[in-house]
Homo-oligomer: A and B are copies of this chain.
């Protein structure tokens, strides 16, 4: 908050990653690009944030990964949403909606 650079709030990154992967298997670097692009450049995830988050998320079983070569001939680690991950995404989206609603209520108070 308080800066006008695209900043994340703690706790939203997992949801964004899961959402990005819900649109299809992707490698780490691609996740960053997809998030940036989908948010109209408003959100920018740093590599130093993403990879630890991916590791954390994989440990929890929400995504699975495999090394592969993509069309450009380069190697990359591809991440895929698991069934648990999809459920988790729904949970996090619901939490997010609740939070947004709660804050909206407070904001409209006079």
On A, residues with C-beta under 8 Å from B are 1-4, 6-7, 9-12, 14-16, 19-20, 23, 35, 38-40, 42-43, 88, 91-93, 95-96, 98-103, 105-107, 109-110
Q: Do A103 and B12 touch across chains, with their CB atoms under 8 A apart?
A: yes
Q: Do B6 and A106 touch across chains, with their CB atoms under 8 A apart?
A: no
Q: With the chains together, A91 CA to B1 CA distance in Å?
A: 8
**In the complex where A88-B2, A109-B38, A110-B23 touch, is A43 in contact with B102 (Cβ < 8 A)?**
yes
What's the least CB distance linking A44 to chain B, in Å? 10
Q: Do B9 and A106 touch across chains, with their CB atoms under 8 A apart?
A: no
What's the least CB distance linking A37 to chain B, in Å? 9
**In the complex where A12-B9, A88-B2 touch, is A96 in contact with B102 (Cβ < 8 A)?**
no
Q: Do A23 and B109 touch across chains, with their CB atoms under 8 A apart?
A: yes
Identity of the chain B residue whose Cβ is nearest the Cβ of A4 in the assembled complex: B95
